[in-house]
Each structure stands twice: as structure tokens, then as C-alpha cells.
Structure 1
Amino acid sequence: MKTALLLSGGMDSIALAWWKRPELAFTVDYGQLAATAEISASAAICSALDIPHTVLRFDAKALGSGDMAGTAPDPNAPASDWWPYRNQLLVTLVAMKAVATGVQRLWLGTVASDGIHKDGTPEFFENINRLLSHQEGGIVVEAPAIGLRTADLIRQSDIPRSMLAWAHSCHKADVPCCHCRGCNKHFETLQELDADVATGD
């Protein structure tokens, strides 16, 4: 079954790429502020793993909100990085391209902490999988690490720190801003992994 990964260039998707070794990877520039850095990080891991990498561009910035779009969050947003229906959009765009290449299984690097958003929950993936697998092409959508924390995914993947260093987690810019939710998660995860090294775990 031909596999593909929706690769954002963050810690989660890079670790998943190392762990699962998909046959193809897709990164989407949908108008997010950190698109250039995300594409560079994704290209680096794909080059290291010899995975064909496709970049799709679809400017949805006018429809975005919050940190990733550079606007004030929607009043109903569960967090400052909420972009309405983002995962639904990205899955659809990648599937539109992937189905033509014979992809049958599409993976996303969603982890347990993404459940703060509805489109990061197991229920969302059950529903989006049901929708895509019902349509022509029958693509199966999965989030293999949805039950794991980011640090646990990294441990499971056994990705070298030299490869993990390519990850770009900032929501606001191509250079880490050091104060958004993405940057905070990145630094907290590295601190936890460093503690493993210090204790010999």
C-alpha cells in the first residue's frame, strides 16, 4: 500500500517521517507565516531519507486567523494558533495530488497534545478517514502517533538529534520567535529529551 506523509517540518512530522519512512511526502504552503522555513525543514529530512518531496501552494491566508496567519485569534479559538478547518483543508489538498500518484495511505504527524483542537482528535481522524476512503481512490487517512506525546514519538522514532535539529516549530516566523505555542513546545520537548541524556535513560 503506497504511503505518503503530510510533512509540516515540525518536530512531530519529522520524527514520524524518520519512524515510518513514507514513500512520498507533501508540504503545503497555504499562506502561513512560517511556510519558507517549514518547506526547508521538510526538504532536509526528505533528502536525508531519500523520500520524494512535493510542495503544494494554495494561498488561504485571507481565510486564516491567529498566530500562523499573523492576525488576532478568532473569539471562539481554543488557542492562539487556531486556523479554522486547517487540517481538513490540508488533507483535502494533499489528497487531491496524492490520489493521482497512487497513494493509498496518508499519514499526519498529529500527537496527543494536538487534541486541544477538534481537528487534532481521534474523532476527527475517524471522520476524515471515512470521508476520503468513501471517495474515488479510497485513500486511508491516519495519525500513527496520535496517542503519543511529542517526546515519546521522538523516542519511538529513534531520530538522531542532528536530524531533529532541522525541525521548525515556530508559528509566527521563519526564525523562531521564542514565545509562541510552537516555540514553547519545541523548547520544552528538548528539555525533556536532554533530561533523558542527563539521567542515562
Structure 2
Amino acid sequence: MKTIVICSGGLDSVSLAHMVAAEQQLTRLVSFDYGQRHRKELDFAAAAARRLGVPHDIIDMRTIGAALSGSALTDDIDVPDGHYAEDTMKVTVVPNRNAIMLTIAYGIAAANGDQAVATAVHGGDHFIYPDCRPAFTEAFDAMQRAALDGYADVRLYTPFVHQTKGDIVTAGAKHNTPFADTWSCYKGGDKHCGRCGTCVERREAFHLAGVKDPTEYADPDFWRQAIAGKDGG
């Protein structure tokens, strides 16, 4: 199946790209610059495309992102520390981000004769991000089939939507994903901060998967405290 992968440069999407390259026909990676507080992750997406030998499209959504204000990922708002399963993480929501990105990706797929758009949304995203939940992905796929009816047949591929981030690490390891060449941290420093939601979830995922985490964290032990807080310990 000719498949494009939406790739942020993070652990999830790069692992998905390697999996698609091994199991399907990966045709390109598509990334989005929506004015996020750092573009560092896009460099990792570009590196993944070079490594996998496919084109890499970076879509400039900065003017759109500027209108989607109020998120710690786009505005001058502090990124909170802790686990994703906390209400404080809702400040990292960029309204309708995935819906907008997927719509563009479907158009790119249809224009290039691709059969699927793959995105790495997973079960850990469901609590905070409404456009990562199965109800959304299923409805979106149906809507896009209607939008392209008679022109192109493109499906949405979400292999991780009912799985955990630990499952993604397991799948990534199976397909030789170079985890050190992925970027998750929302704070965009010289190294992963180890304290923001995505760093905590990343570190926890390696622990649950039983896979060595090659990531260098500024605060490598905070995740245990954050997990204890999530579990009420």
C-alpha cells in the first residue's frame, strides 16, 4: 500500500515511518511548521526522510498556527511539568491541529496517487487530545472518503490508536528505529528536559517496553515522581 506518513520528528511518528517502510510502500514524509515554539523536531523528521530515502514535505502553517492561539506549544506560555494524564497538560492542546494536518495530508496523498495517510496517534493521547481519539479518526476517515469520492481512494492508517506508547517503542525497536535520532521534548533545549509531559511519557514508554532509552535528559529521574503522582502514589 502506497502510504505517506505524517512525521513530526518525534519518537512515535519516526517509529511509524520505519514500520511503514518495512511493511508497506513508504512514499514520503509530511511535516508541518505551525509556529511551534521550536522547529528542532523538524530537523529530526528531515533526517528520517533522508535515512529512509523518501521525499520530505514541510508544509508552512505558521499563519494558521498564529490564529490557533492559547497553547503552550505556540504562545509564550510555560510548558507544564508532569504526566500527560493531568489536567494541566490541556494547555498543550492546539485546537484542531490534527484535523487540519490530516486534511492537508489527504490532499497530498490524493494528488500523488497514494492509498493511505498514516499518523501515529496512540492511546496515551486520548485523555488530553480530542483529535487523537478513535471516535475522531474513524469519523475523519469517513468524511475524507466522502470528500474524495470518485477522485481518489485514500484511507487513514492508525496502527497505534488503541495501543500505548510502550507498544510504539516495541514496534520501533522491531523495525530498527534509531530512537536517539528522534525529538520529543516540548521545551526544545539542548537536550530533552525530562520534565514536560512528552518527556515523562517517553521515558515511561521505554521502561514499560523493556527497551534501553538512549535519550539524554536534563532531569533523568523526574519521570518516576511524575508517574507516582499520576498513580496517586
**Structure 1 length as normaliser, TM-score?**
0.85
Query: For the aligned residues, what is the CA RMSD?
Result: 2.3
Runs of 4+ that moved beyond 6 A? none
Q: Kindly provide the amino acid, as one letter, of the partner of residue 28 in structure 2.
A: L
Q: 1:50-102 CA distances to partner (integer Å, 9 max, x unpaired)?
A: 122111111113313322113449xx987231111110011112223332111
Match of residue 144, structure 2, among 132, 146, 157: 132
Q: 1:7-40 CA distances to partner (integer Å, 9 max, x unpaired)?
A: 1111111111111112211011111113x21211
Q: 1:149-192 CA distances to partner (integer Å, 9 max, x unpaired)?
A: 1121221231436x111111112325434322112212222334
Aligned residues: 192
Q: Which residue does 2:67 correspond to in 1?
A: 62
Question: 1:65 and 1:148 mapped to 2: Cα distance?
Answer: 29
Question: 1:135 and 1:106 mapped to 2: Cα distance?
Answer: 15
Question: 1:130 and 1:70 mapped to 2: Cα distance?
Answer: 33
- Structure 2 unaligned segments of length 5 or more: list them: 79-86, 213-233
Q: CA 1:135–1:62 in 2, change beyond 3 Å: closer, same or farther?
A: closer
Q: CA 1:174–1:107 in 2, change beyond 3 Å: closer, same or farther?
A: farther
Query: Taking CA–CA contacts closer than 8 Å with sequence separation of 6 or more, which of the two structures ends up with the larger relative contact order?
Result: 1
**Structure 2 length as normaliser, TM-score?**
0.74
Q: Kindly provide the amino acid, as one letter, of the partner of residue 36 in structure 2.
A: Q
Q: Which residue does 2:28 correspond to in 1?
A: 24
Q: Which residue does 1:112 correspond to in 2?
A: 123
- Structure 1 unaligned segments of length 5 or more: list them: none
Counterparts of 1:33-182 in structure 2, within 5 Å, are 33-34=37-38, 36-59=39-62, 60-72=65-77, 79-116=90-127, 117-136=129-148, 137-157=152-172, 158-160=174-176, 163-173=178-188, 175=190, 176-182=192-198
Q: Which has the larger radius of gyration?
A: 2
Q: Contact conserved, 2:170 with 2:211, CA < 8 A, in 1?
A: no
